[in-house]
Amino acid sequence: MSRFGLYVDKELKPLYSFLMEIRDRYAPSPTGLQHIGGLRTALFNYLFAKSRNGKFILRLEDTDRTRFDEAYVDNLYASFEWLGFRWDEGPDIGGPSAPYIQSERLEIYKKYARDLVESGHAYYCFCSAERLDTLRREREAAHSSEAGYDRHCRAVDAQEAASRAAGEPHTIRLRIPLGEKTGLDDALLGKVEWKNDDVSPDPVLLKSDGFPTYHLANVVDDHLMGITHVLRAQEWVSSTPLHIIMYRAFGWTPPVFCHLPMVMGQDGKKLSKRHGATSIDEFRKNGFLPEALVNYVALLGASYEEGKEIYTLDELCARFSLEKLNKAPAVFDYKKLEWYNAHYIRVKTDAALAALALPYAVRSGLFGVPGRDPGAEQLALFKAVMPLVKERAVFLGDIPAKLTYLFSEPPVPDASEFIPKKSSLEEARRLLAIGRTLAPQMAETGDEDAERLAKETAQREGVKLGDLLMPLRVAITGSRVSPPLFGSIRLLGAASSLARIDRALESL
Ligand code: GLU
Ligand code: ZN
C-alpha cells in the first residue's frame, strides 16, 4: 500500500514515485547560528524538491525554549536571503500547512500525545525530576550500564493514570513495544535494524509544561505537512527508530528517510570552529560570494557530472538525485572553496563586482579615511579598475588593498626596488626615462598596442621587456608586484602617470 492507500504495481513503481508530489523540509532549531551543516541539509532538500518539481518547506523547530534566541531566527532569514534560495512554504510566507513555527502549534501536539495515550501507545508518567535524578545518581554510583527512564509508570493502570493526570503534574511517554525490532530502509544507508529494547527507553513526548519534545513535534509535523522525504544529517539516525515506532503507533506511513553523510574537516574530525569559519555569517563577512558557497556545498557528499565543477543553482536542480549522494563522509576543503570564490569573482560583471566590493573598500579607507563614501569620480574609477583585480582576487576583501595605489599616490620605494636583476641604478634610471617617453601613448591605447609599443622599444634598446617595464611599474604602482601595468597607466591618465614617474626619477 502506498501512503495514499492505493495499490501500486511493482513495475509501475518508478513511474508512480515520479508522479508522487515530493514535499521535503529544512527544520532548524533556532538555537545557534546557521552553519555549513545546516546549509548542506537545506540545500540538498531544496535541490531534491526542485529536481522532482516538488515543494521545499521551512519549519522552525523552536520548542527548546531554554536555548531559543530570536537573534538566531533573524540570522536564519538573513543567511538564506544572502544565499539566494528560497522555500515554497514557511513561517514568513505561509502555506497550506501553516503555522510553520512549532511554538504556535502546541495544541496540535497535545492532542496527538493524548491520542497516543488513548490508543495505549503512550502513557502518563508522574515521576518527579527529583526521582529521575536520584535514579540516575544511583545507577552512576553502582556503575550500571542502564541509562534513561526505568519505565516506572508504564504499568500504572490506564484509568487510574487518567484520573491522576487531571490533577498531578505529568509527562507523556512513548510506550515502546518491547521484544520487537524496528527497521529502517534508508535511501542512502540502506537497511538498518534496531532491537526495540535498545532504543531509548520510553522517551518523553510531551513535557510537564505542555511543550512537546523534538521527537513528537517532528513526527506530527512531518505527517501533517505531508512530508514525503526527510533528508537530514546522519547524527539523527539514532532517533529514527523512535520516529518509525511513533509513525506506526499513529497508524501513519513514515516518509522516506535519507541520512546525509557527515561533513568533516581535513583532519577527519567533524567540521567545527577549529577548522575555520563555519557560520554562514562569517563566510559572508570574509568576502565569500553566495554562488561559491552554494556551488561548493552542493558537491559536499554528492557527485553530478564527471569533470564538471561549476554549476548554477538551476543546473544543480536539474541534476540532483538521491542516487548521486555518497555514503562516505564529505571533507570540507577551504582551499577548494577559495578556488570557487575566485572563479565567481572572475565571472562577475565590473559593475556587479564593484557593488559587492564597495563596502570593503569604504571600510578599508580606500577613499580617504575608513568609512568615507567615494565621490562620483572615485566611484567611476572604482568600477573601471575592476578588470585589473578580477583575475587575481580570492575574496571581496582582497580587492581594496590591491587598488590603494590608484586612489592615493603611493610612497616612492627605496631605489633598490627599481633595479632589475643583475643591473645598476644608472640603468634603472635610463630605463625609467625611456618608460617616461612611452607612458603618454600607453595612457591612450589598449593593452595590445601598449604591449607592442613596449616590445618594440625593448628590442630597439637591446633590453628585456621585463627589465624595461620593471622600473616603470614600481614608479606607477609603488611595487614590483601589482595589478596590470598598462591598465593602471590608462586609468591614472597621462598627467598622473608622468607625475609619478618624475617623482621616482627625482628620488633615484
Ligand atoms: N530540529 C532538528 C535540527 O535542528 C531537525 C532534525 C530533522 O531534520 O529531523 O536539526
Ligand atoms: Zn514515571
CA-nearest residue for atom 10, ligand 1, is: 28
390 in active site: no
The Å distance, Cα 118 to ligand 1 centre, comes to 28
For the CA of 218, the nearest atom of ligand 1: 9
* Smallest CA separation from ligand 1 atom 2, residue: 28
Query: Which ligand does the CA of 255 lie closest to?
Result: 1
Instruction: Identify the residue whose C-alpha is closest to ligand 1 atom 3.
Output: 28
Asked if pLDDT for residue 418 goes beyond 60, the answer is yes
Q: Name the residues around ion ligand 2, CB cutoff 5 A.
A: 125, 127, 152-153
Atom number of ligand 1 nearest to Cα 31? 4
Compute, in angstroms, the gap from residue 319 CA to the centroid of ligand 1.
Answer: 25
Pairing assessment for the beta strands 263-264 and 330-331 based on DSSP bridges: parallel
Q: How confident is the model over 478-493, as a mean pLDDT?
A: 94
Give, using CA atoms, the residue closest to atom 8 of ligand 1: 232
Inform me whether the pLDDT recorded for 24 exceeds 90: yes
- Ligand closest to Cα of 127 equals 2
Phi, psi of 259 (to 5 degrees): -95, 120
**For residue 35, which ligand has an atom nearest its CA?**
1
- Name the residue of 218, 238, 240, 258 to mutate for ligand 1: max ligand atoms within 8 A of Cβ: 218
Predicted local distance difference test score (pLDDT) of residue 3:
47
Catalytic residue of the set 181, 273, 327, 455: 273
Pick the CATH number of 13-263 from 3.20.20.210, 3.10.20.30, 3.40.50.620, 3.40.50.2300: 3.40.50.620
Residue 1's pLDDT band (boundaries 50, 70, 90)?
Answer: very low
Average pLDDT of the chain, as a whole number? 94
Strand partners, 206: 172, 212
In this structure, what are the phi and psi dihedrals at residue 43, rounded to the nearest 5 degrees? -65, -45
Burial class from Cβ neighbours inside 10 Å (0-12, 13-18, 19+) for residue 247 reads: middle
**pLDDT, mean of residues 119-145:** 95
* pLDDT above 70 (res 16): no
Cα dist. 131→163, 239, 249, 425 in Å? 21, 25, 28, 88
| Positions of E strands within 298-414 | 330-331
Distance CA 434, CA 469 (A): 10
Is the pLDDT score of 505 beyond 60?
Answer: yes
- Mean of pLDDT values over 457-469: 96
Cα(243) to ligand 2 centroid in Å equals 21
State the distance from the centre of ligand 2 to the C-alpha of 151, rounded, in angstroms. 6
Read off the pTM.
0.90
Ligand with minimal distance to 240 CA: 1
pLDDT, residue 452, reads 97
Residue 97 pLDDT > 70, yes or no?
yes
Query: What is the position in ligand 1's atom list of the atom closest to the CA of 230?
Result: 8
Domain 415-507 coded CATH 2.30.31.10: no
Alpha-carbon distance of 357 to 23, in angstroms, equals 38
How does pLDDT run across 84-96, given as a tens digit for each residue? 999 999 999 999 9
pLDDT band at 274 (very low <50, low <70, confident <90, very high): confident
Nearest-atom index, ligand 1, CA of 61:
1
d(C-alpha 418, C-alpha 424), whole Å: 9
Burial string for 280-306 (b: 16+ CB within 10 Å, else e) reads bbebbeebbbbbbbbbbbbbbbbebee
**pLDDT at residue 6 is higher than 90:** no
Asked if pLDDT for residue 102 goes beyond 90, the answer is yes
pLDDT at 323 over 70: yes
Please give the backbone phi and psi of residue 190, each rounded to the nearest 5 degrees, phi first.
80, -150
Residues touching ligand 1 (Cβ under 6 Å) are 27-29, 61, 218, 232, 236
Q: What is the pLDDT of residue 147?
A: 86
CB 171 within 8 A of CB 204: yes
CA angle 388, 392, 394 (to 5 degrees): 125
| Ligand 1 atom with the shortest distance to the CA of 26 | 8
All residues at 6 or more sequence positions from 105 whose CB lies less than 8 Å from its CB, including other chains: 99, 217, 221
Distance between Cα 236 and ligand 2 center (Å): 26
- Model pLDDT for residues 195-231, shown as the tens digit of each residue: 999 999 999 999 999 999 999 999 999 999 999 999 9
List, for residues 391-408, the tens digit of each pLDDT value.
Answer: 999 999 999 999 999 999
Tell me the percentage of the chain whose pLDDT exceeds 90. 90
Cα of 33 to ligand 1 centre, how many Å?
14
What's the full length of the chain, in residues? 508
Distance from the Cα of residue 383 to its chain's centroid:
29
pLDDT class of 4 with cuts at 50, 70, 90: very low
Closest CA to 41 of 235, 283, 232: 232
CATH superfamily for 273-344 is: Glutamyl-trna Synthetase; Domain 2 (1.10.1160.10)
